[in-house]
């Protein structure tokens, strides 16, 4: 994730410099996270990871136009590794209508709405593989967290997910922690006029009643916070020259402002550079870049479906500085496809390495393209030094005891100071030795 912002970007788009986004942050801070009842402790996450594994989420979601909620059916397959009195599924939704185990109601299950949890009594279950079927109702988010819903005065609807660090459970019941990676198989019922981007390719689409039924290929194992869904009245641009399926999505109203050629070229160069640098082919089946409204951050690296704040469409006459800012963001998220998505942190105390490494790699890619980066890196180091001088500073590596405090670590210490430490390490061991070490990792 590229976190140049923490606040909501409420206004409709106007062609302007990205600096306006940063101003919004200073004014509104992290208010979007108020009211979120879910919170996962590091201790329980460790215990739960010892209890369950081999996860597969088969998720069916149904969307109606002009609605406040959506319906879902989750078929969750998991391995119970050792006997336990109970398990908790995270779910900060509206309603759970049924929980079935092997086709029968699971005795004693309970939706604890005030805690954002579903209690699953497992005291009578021996270690083995089980399948739960859960039907539920969830509300759309209106603050950029979970599955956000935005409707324009002209009636266009736009949905997108923003799930880091642990808001996937606002969309569907899950074990919402990064080390419990899982394969996701998604199907959607949605209005026929809507377009969609998810982590994987759509394999079929046909009319079912008044809605369209879409199915998607199963993902590779990914963390729950990396699940992505962008759906609605988006306009779609295709890159016919790419070696893998590549698209851009943006609001209908913004199509005149989007320079798709520039975005496609930046992304394509970044993917080629990282493929060569890491010595590992691009690890997913496609690459969508989705410019979305009312986003809380600059961008997010969801596998195969990157989301970017629509302010970075930039408008008709962007400056060279504007273009470099956007390049940074697009390259940063491309780096995450390997470091963050293919390789994922076990817990949020390693957020610094996830983010500072992507920041470090974005400068390497820019230099490879002939960009002069010393002013850029010095500016970021100076801003990190300024934040490091405040009473609110903290170590680069912090012990995160619960997910409620993760957002506080999306700052210049985690990103820019961490990036400076990695640059120092690369200079100490040598650029080629550093690259070989990363390839081995």
Catalytic (active site) residue 333: yes
The 3-state secondary structure of the chain reads: CECCCCCCCCCCCCCCCCHHHHHHHHHHCCHHHCCCCCCCEHHHHHHHHHHEEEEEEEEEEECCCCCCEEEEEEEEEEEECCCCCEEEEECCCCEEEEEEECCEECCCCEEECCCCEEEEECCCCCCEEEEEEEEEEEECECCCCEEEEEECCCCCEEEEEECCCCCHHHCCCECCCCCCCEEEEEEEEECCCCEEEECCCEEEEEEECCEEEEEECCCCCECHHHCCEEEECEEEEECCCCCCCEEEEEEHHHHHHCCHHHHHHHHHHHHHHHHHHHCCCCCCCCEEEEEECCCCCCEECCCCEEEEEHHHHCCCCCCHHHHHHHHHHHHHHHHHCCECCCECCCCHHHHHHHHHHHHHHHHHHHHHCCCCCHHHHHHHHHHHHHHHCCCCCCCCCCCCCEHHHHHHHCCCHHHHHHHHHHHHHHHHHCHHHHHHHHHHC
Pull the structure tokens for residue 10.
Answer: 């409420």
The CA-based angle 114-115-120, given to 5 degrees, is: 115
Of residues 364, 379, 285, the one with CA closest to residue 331: 364
Q: Catalytic residue among 157, 333, 355, 423, which?
A: 333
Active centre residues (catalytic): 333
């Amino acid at each position: 994730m590229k976190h140049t912002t923490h606040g909501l970007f409420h206004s409709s788009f106007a062609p302007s410099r990205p600096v306006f986004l940063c101003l919004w942050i200073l004014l509104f801070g992290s208010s979007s996270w108020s009211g979120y009842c879910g919170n996962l402790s590091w201790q329980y996450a460790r215990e739960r990871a010892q209890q369950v594994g081999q996860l597969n989420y088969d998720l069916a979601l149904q969307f109606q136009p002009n609605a406040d909620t959506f319906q879902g059916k989750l078929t969750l397959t998991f391995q119970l590794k050792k006997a336990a009195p109970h398990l908790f599924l995270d779910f900060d939704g509206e309603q759970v209508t049924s929980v079935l185990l092997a086709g029968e109601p699971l005795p004693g299950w309970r939706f604890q709405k005030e805690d954002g949890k579903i209690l699953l009594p497992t005291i009578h279950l021996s270690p083995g593989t089980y399948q739960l079927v859960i039907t539920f109702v969830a509300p759309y988010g209106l603050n950029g967290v979970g599955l956000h819903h935005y409707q324009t005065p002209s009636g266009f609807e736009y949905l997108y997910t923003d799930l880091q660090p642990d808001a996937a459970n606002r969309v569907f019941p899950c074990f919402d922690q990064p080390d419990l990676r899982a394969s996701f198989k998604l199907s959607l019922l949605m209005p026929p006029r809507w377009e969609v981007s998810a982590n994987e390719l759509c394999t079929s689409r046909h009319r079912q009643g008044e809605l369209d039924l879409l199915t998607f290929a199963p993902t590779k194992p990914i963390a729950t916070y990396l699940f992505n869904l962008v759906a609605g009245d988006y306009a779609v641009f295709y890159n016919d020259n790419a070696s893998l399926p590549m698209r851009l999505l943006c609001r209908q109203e913004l199509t005149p402002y989007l320079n798709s050629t520039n975005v496609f070229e930046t992304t394509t160069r970044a993917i080629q550079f990282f493929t060569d640098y890491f010595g590992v082919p691009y690890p997913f089946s496609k690459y969508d870049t989705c410019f979305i409204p009312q986003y809380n951050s600059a961008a997010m690296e969801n596998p195969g479906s990157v989301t970017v704040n629509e302010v970075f469409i930039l408008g008709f006459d962007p400056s060279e500085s504007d273009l470099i800012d956007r390049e940074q963001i697009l390259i940063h998220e491309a780096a995450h496809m390997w470091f963050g998505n293919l390789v994922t942190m076990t817990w949020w105390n390693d957020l610094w390495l996830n983010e500072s490494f992507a920041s470090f790699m974005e400068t390497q890619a820019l230099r490879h393209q002939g960009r002069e980066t010393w002013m850029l890196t010095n500016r970021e180091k100076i801003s990190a030094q300024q934040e490091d001088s405040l009473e609110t500073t903290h170590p680069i590596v912090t012990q995160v005891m619960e997910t409620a405090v993760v957002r506080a670590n999306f700052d210049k210490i985690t990103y820019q100071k961490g990036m400076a430490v990695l640059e120092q390490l690369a200079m100490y061991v040598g650029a080629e030795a550093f690259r070989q070490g990363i390839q081995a990792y």
